[in-house]
Amino acid sequence: MNRGIWFGIGAYACWGLFPLYWKLLAHVPALQLLGHRIIWSCIILLGVVMLTRQWQAFQQLAVSPRVLRIYAVAAILIAANWLMYVWAVNAGYIVETSLGYFINPLFSVLMGVLFFRERLRVWQWGAIGLAATGVLYLTLVYGSLPWIALSLAFTFGTYGLVKKLAPLNSLYGLTLETSLLFLPALALLGFSEIAGSGAFLHSGIASDALLIAGGLVTTVPLLLFASAARRIPLSMVGVLQYIAPTLQLLIGVLVFREPFSQNQFIGFGIVWTALIIFGLEGFLNHRMQPIPVVVE
Domain containing residue 255: 3-288
User: Residue 235's pLDDT is what?
Assistant: 65
User: Residue 211's pLDDT is what?
Assistant: 94
Residue 295 lies in a domain: no
With a cut of 70, which residues of the chain have pLDDT below it? 1, 144, 234-235, 238, 283, 286-287, 289-296
Check if the beta carbon of residue 237 is closer than 8 Å to that of residue 74.
Answer: no
**Residues contacting residue 63 through CB under 8 Å, at least 6 positions apart:** none
- The residue type found at 118 is E
Residue 162 lies in a domain: yes
CA distance 109 to 127: 11
* Full-model pTM: 0.83
Q: Provide the domain count of the chain.
A: 1
Check if the beta carbon of residue 151 is closer than 8 Å to that of residue 100.
Answer: yes
Residue 296 lies in a domain: no
